[in-house]
Amino acid sequence: MLLFTLECALGIVAVVMVAALAHWFGWLLPVALLLYLLIVLPTALLCGFWQAAIVSLSAVVVHALFIARQPELRLAEDPANTVMLLAFVLVALVVSRLSARVTGHAREAESWGGQMHDLYEFTRRTLKMNLHMEPGPQLAELVHEIFSLEAVAVFDADLHDVYQSGNWSVDPQEMAQNVYYFETSDDDAETGIGRRVVRLGTVPVGSLVVRGETSPLTNNAIASLIAITFDRYRAFANESRIETERRTEQLRATVLDSLAHAYKTPLTAIRAASSGLSEMGHLSPGQAELVALIDEQAGLLGELTTRLLTTGRLDAGEITIHAEPVGVGPLIDEVLASLKDRLASMKVEVDLEDEDLVLDCDRELMNMLLTQYIDNACKYSIYGTTITIRAVRANAEVLFSVHSFGPVIPMADRERIFDRYYRSSDHSNRASGTGIGLSVAKRVALIHSGYVWVTSDDEEGTTFFAAIPDSVQKGRT
């Protein structure tokens, strides 16, 4: 207000000086009006419209006062003088308004140009950020530094932490969290605080609170860039985790493959020795029982080793499909015969829609898939319940299913249960095993262009499915 008064006073003083000179030297009214206009224009350009309007009106009043001392020059005696003064006021007001508007636009353009430069610098710096570290602290420091704000607070909803920079008179923790939870985005002119919800698309991922001189558009842009940086950090973290898991899995597979190859020779020797002892005879019942136990366990180790090697070849794409017409009924009987010792105490039912059902597939690989499914049912079935094996043709596919009653598989585990080495998160439902079998079944189905899934319910029980197309391309891997 003081500056406004001072600007108006200076303009009026200049007007009085011009009016006095015009009076003393007897200048004509048009000459005086041009001089007044030279005062009004700089006032409009440098100060503003209202200052120029007051100065122009004061020029009319002051000039009229000086003319009043000279009766021969009174306005009433010459109507042209009145018209000229009114035209001067109108021109002065219009020119003042236009010049004030141009000046305002120039200032806004200059201010926005500076903000655009700051936004460019902020974008450039965020792209060079170290994504190995949490982005919140870095973003708060950058916003505070680049935009010259008094204080900044950034809330990362994923990490549930507030990062701040600058001097806050109050704790911004609760303020930033409330902006996120209540989704309040506003600008308070009195306190100079701007609040923004940081959104990735339509999903809130955090919040931004700033105190200082910024425009609403700048605050919106900062919030958008923070959201993009959060997304880049998440993507980079996921990519790093996936790459780490891939390398870990590759190393583990390599080690297991090497061990499986290394086990083959001693296992063969053990089985040969146990078979030799059995054939030699003259063994006591206790010795014969021990030899039989050695032979049985060596057989299990040999089976596990073969499974590991096959899994490695499946993942490496080293197995070629030898597709041929295979009778589904005989295939199931073959698998059940290989598992007769495991199924000795189990009730098993085979339900075939068509006894002559034939599938074009790799017999050995499909044998492995069904073996894994039935063996898994044996491990988890409740004693005395029935394991049901079904096969039906549906939509150019043969649908295999193995149903049993046992512990319910949690929903969170049903997608990952077919991943290699994955074991259920429910420790009470675990049985002995390596976590390899179901991954082999999944890989066999994929090689046949099929797919697998599982359903599990307290009342209906657990059913593992495998859908295999009627025919596959020979030699496909």
CATH code at position 337: 3.30.565.10
Residues with Cβ within 8 Å of 474's Cβ and at least 6 positions away in sequence, in order, are 321, 322, 323
Element (H, E) at 389: strand 386-394
pLDDT for the residue 129? 86
Indicate whether 120 belongs to any domain.
no
Each residue's pLDDT, cut to its tens digit, for the chain (477 residues) gives: 677 777 778 877 877 787 777 767 666 666 666 677 777 777 776 776 677 777 777 777 776 676 655 554 444 445 555 555 566 666 666 766 776 676 666 666 665 566 778 888 999 999 888 888 889 999 999 999 998 899 999 999 988 899 999 998 888 888 999 999 998 899 988 888 999 999 988 899 999 999 988 888 889 999 999 999 999 998 888 888 777 767 776 666 666 666 666 767 787 788 788 787 777 777 788 888 888 888 888 877 877 777 666 666 665 555 677 889 999 999 999 999 988 888 888 899 999 988 889 999 999 889 989 999 999 899 889 888 999 999 999 888 999 999 999 999 888 788 788 876 665 655 444 455 445 678 888 888 988 999 999 999 888 899 999 999 987 654 444
Pair 331, 314 in one domain: no
Q: How many CB atoms lie within 10 A of CB 37?
A: 15
Pair 92, 155 in one domain: no
Indicate whether 389 belongs to any domain.
yes
Pair 264, 362 in one domain: no
Paired sense of beta strands 347-352 and 386-394, if any: parallel
Tell me the torsion sign for CA atoms 390, 391, 393, 395: positive
Indicate whether 123 belongs to any domain.
no
Q: Structure tokens of 52?
A: 């120029």
Q: In terms of residue numbers, what domain contains 8?
A: 2-114
Pair 64, 138 in one domain: no
What's the CA gap between 194 and 214, in Å, rounded? 8
Q: In what order do the strands lie in the sheet with 397-404?
A: 347-352, 386-394, 397-404, 461-469, 451-457
DSSP character for 150? S
Tell me the torsion sign for CA atoms 293, 294, 300, 303: negative
Pair 297, 409 in one domain: no
pLDDT for the residue 251? 67
What's the CA gap between 292 and 150, in Å, rounded? 82
Pair 271, 374 in one domain: no
Indicate whether 456 belongs to any domain.
yes
Element (H, E) at 405: none
Contact 167, 201 (CB under 8 A): no
What's the CA gap between 11 and 59, in Å, rounded? 9
Indicate whether 126 belongs to any domain.
no
Q: Considering its fold, how many domains does the chain have in total?
A: 3
Contact 142, 125 (CB under 8 A): yes
Indicate whether 313 belongs to any domain.
yes
Pair 236, 276 in one domain: yes
Indicate whether 20 belongs to any domain.
yes
Pair 310, 329 in one domain: no
Q: How many CB atoms lie within 10 A of CB 19?
A: 23
What's the CA gap between 445 and 309, in Å, rounded? 18
Q: What is the pTM of this model?
A: 0.46
Pair 268, 194 in one domain: yes
Contact 464, 401 (CB under 8 A): yes
Pair 238, 261 in one domain: yes
DSSP character for 320? -
DSSP character for 465? E
Burial class from Cβ neighbours inside 10 Å (0-12, 13-18, 19+) for residue 150 reads middle
The counts of H helices and E strands in the chain are 11, 12
Pair 307, 244 in one domain: yes
Pair 313, 328 in one domain: no
